[in-house]
Structure 1
């Protein structure tokens, strides 16, 4: 009976507010009849004493999913883990703007879903421009979310000559189209690090957009926070002009030189960056932080509401119910930025992967890594536990992209890629042209 009651409580918890109210109303009718009958019986037994039942606050956890953190306990804020340096603060809009290059298999809705953009916004955008149903590989999307996680502005770069802008209105979105006509030219810029990459790049004439592009292209190969004076970047960009006025630029290739090695990142026709042989620069991520997939005891839900208070209590990760002592693995190559204890998260670890990705692992028993340590994809970083605010043994796992929590189960993560066939041959021809420009002294 107790097991059935808990199951009913769990189902009731996941219903929307309207259905909860409807179900409660329907249940109240037979309950009222039952109480009335009980009252009539009690009038015939005046000597029977009835004591009130008091429910303690901590007993409410019995009605919630097991093997997860209590619903009224929010997870750690992003600011507690993100390393704040000049790359985070000196480039305008790096946090508020989200960018995506369309890849094979992408659809407009799936791209935005991983950032938890509401379906209503997606529907309105497709309604105002039905061509959004037909994205092409290499096209670019950039958008800004407001405080309510709704799209405020969106830019769709369909080609080098066409951009579409979507701005929120009271009724939905309005669209405006900009066609570029004119000439284009290539330009080589050299950046020699002196003090910091950001300042050195600005002094060399790069704008914020171009600096972000360089950082993104090489994020898997070098750490921009650990450069040395004298390190050198050769940067090839394509510039479009209209009436002799510069309109925009696109990064075509980068060569980074230090005392020991040269690194390259060259853009392919799909908008992604590869090395000189056509291999992707990212090592690829695993989907789960364990050897096998365990039961999800609490899903990702940024709009989760506390069933008692009705307040929003976001769940910014996924809880996997695992036995204590289960090995916890890093899902990708990265650097440990936090390895510590928190009253809420218990023993927990945060790992930064490149400049755009971060993962967090909470309620651990034993930590194997320390802050500043480099880890590899699949490396054991801890043993699972039940520390901090937790209702049972589990791993709370979070994935962040561009400083925003996304659903770890559905987010599009970096994959190990390599161009082949016709695409590879076309790319290698492009490489020859780009390298010729990058090696000009």
Structure 2
């Protein structure tokens, strides 16, 4: 064997240099191919599975970017309530909306976080819902899972359609009222609270709530004084001698010698005697410039660890610590203090239907009870409380229901114009003489 090796080596060394290089290269390649064996996967073999447990922090790093823990609880503080906030019997959990220009069933319901799949099924099974008209009222309830349970559509004062969730979608029922509508004027003078005085004048709790909503931007009902007067024009449906339903047509309130009016237009909204809007306009964002959204509104968000619903009732804006935070509308500061996981926290009530909340603030610039205007500085943004990065958590609530601040239909203060204004002013001429005070 050794003789053979010596003979090969001698022959190799006697070859010209180019031949030796070529032969050596071929030898190396041949040895490499002989040694390398690619892995071949055989499906019939059982794979080895290994479960790797991740803690909450590790799992969080795999989720879409956000600024606060996914199990972030809401502040424990409830907004201070008074007797004017009380709900009508059977109204708890019911959400209401008056159809406005440009509204569709989808745009209305999705801003409240209702799943688009429910909206699609409802619209596909009931084509008439594609023909909503300005001034009509929608109301709905949700089940415990946050899904649409019932939708009620008041098409007119005489016809109401109800859509109830079933195993196969939504079942529609139609209710037609056959009563006679009559107008009546109710007057009163404050002797104690407005609620008690209005009931003494013959108004129901639902009718009182409608009066408060109509005048909410002009008056603070908690500050009315003894001797203040009011006159209310109601249209009531009478059936077999009983009042089945009612609609507020106009109201006049005299407080400290000044008269305040709100009169209903065909669009279902209330305006003053000159057809000017009563609502105060809102800004869309609570900052001078728009910042990146780091976590979206999602009332049905699931906690990936527990599998339970952990609602995110607002929007997170990623912004540097110390960014000025602005009130999005005129209102009164209800809360301004540290609040555990929410950090430094401000809540502002706008009228009687709207509320905004601002969390994780660095510094508070307002105090409870303080009146603020749209655009006023109320705080500096921060990273306080349970937060994984500098950001502002911003919420908007309408009728005690959280809505998506980015898509919600915000009140606007413009008045009527053109034919709508002419028709309204004709109505004013009929309503005002009826709103007499004692």
Confirm or deny: 8 A CA contact 1:362 1:396 kept in the other structure: yes
Q: Does 1:155 align with 2:134?
A: no
Match of residue 387, structure 1, among 354, 377, 384: 384
Confirm or deny: 8 A CA contact 2:230 2:437 kept in the other structure: no
TM-score by length of 1: 0.83
Partner of 2:68: 69
Partner of 2:335: 338
Confirm or deny: 8 A CA contact 2:297 2:313 kept in the other structure: yes
Moved over 6 A (4+): 53-56
SS at match of 1:300: coil
Partner of 2:238: 241
Partner of 1:428: 425
Partner of 2:216: 219
Confirm or deny: 8 A CA contact 1:334 1:351 kept in the other structure: yes
Change (3 A) 1:307 1:143: closer
> CA RMSD, aligned part only?
2.5
Confirm or deny: 8 A CA contact 1:67 1:390 kept in the other structure: no
Compute the displacement of 1:70 (Å).
1.7
Confirm or deny: 8 A CA contact 2:146 2:300 kept in the other structure: no
Compute the displacement of 1:185 (Å).
1.8
Cα distance in 1 for residues equivalent to 2:332 and 2:212: 16
Report which of the two structures shows the higher radius of gyration computed on alpha carbons. 2
Deviations 1:46-65 (A, max 9, x none): xxxxxxx9976545544445
Deviations 1:265-309 (A, max 9, x none): 100011100111111111111110001110111111122223344
Confirm or deny: 8 A CA contact 2:231 2:437 kept in the other structure: no
Query: Which aligned pairs between 1:185-204 and structure 2 lie closer than 5 A?
Result: 185-204=182-201
Cα distance in 2 for residues equivalent to 1:169 and 1:191: 46
Partner of 2:402: 405
Partner of 1:119: 116
Confirm or deny: 8 A CA contact 1:236 1:251 kept in the other structure: yes
Query: Which aligned pairs between 1:135-174 and structure 2 lie closer than 5 A?
Result: 135-174=132-171
Cα distance in 2 for residues equivalent to 1:273 and 1:218: 9
SS at match of 1:241: strand
Confirm or deny: 8 A CA contact 1:95 1:402 kept in the other structure: no
Change (3 A) 1:174 1:380: same
Confirm or deny: 8 A CA contact 2:235 2:246 kept in the other structure: yes
How many equivalent pairs are there? 394
SS at match of 1:71: coil
Change (3 A) 1:192 1:66: same
Compute the displacement of 1:191 (Å).
2.8
Cα distance in 2 for residues equivalent to 1:242 and 1:313: 46
Compute the displacement of 1:208 (Å).
2.1
Q: What 5-or-longer segments of structure 1 have no aligned partner?
A: 1-28, 37-52
Query: Which aligned pairs between 1:270-285 and structure 2 lie closer than 5 A?
Result: 270-285=267-282
SS at match of 1:76: coil
Confirm or deny: 8 A CA contact 2:123 2:130 kept in the other structure: yes
SS at match of 1:159: coil
Cα distance in 2 for residues equivalent to 1:66 and 1:157: 42
SS at match of 1:117: coil
Confirm or deny: 8 A CA contact 1:66 1:392 kept in the other structure: no
Compute the displacement of 1:310 (Å).
3.4
Compute the displacement of 1:181 (Å).
3.6
Compute the displacement of 1:347 (Å).
0.8
Confirm or deny: 8 A CA contact 2:95 2:401 kept in the other structure: no
SS at match of 2:208: helix
Change (3 A) 1:127 1:64: closer
Confirm or deny: 8 A CA contact 1:332 1:353 kept in the other structure: yes
Match of residue 348, structure 2, among 347, 351, 365: 351
Confirm or deny: 8 A CA contact 2:229 2:437 kept in the other structure: no
Cα distance in 2 for residues equivalent to 1:323 and 1:307: 28
Cα distance in 2 for residues equivalent to 1:90 and 1:196: 17
Compute the displacement of 1:317 (Å).
0.9
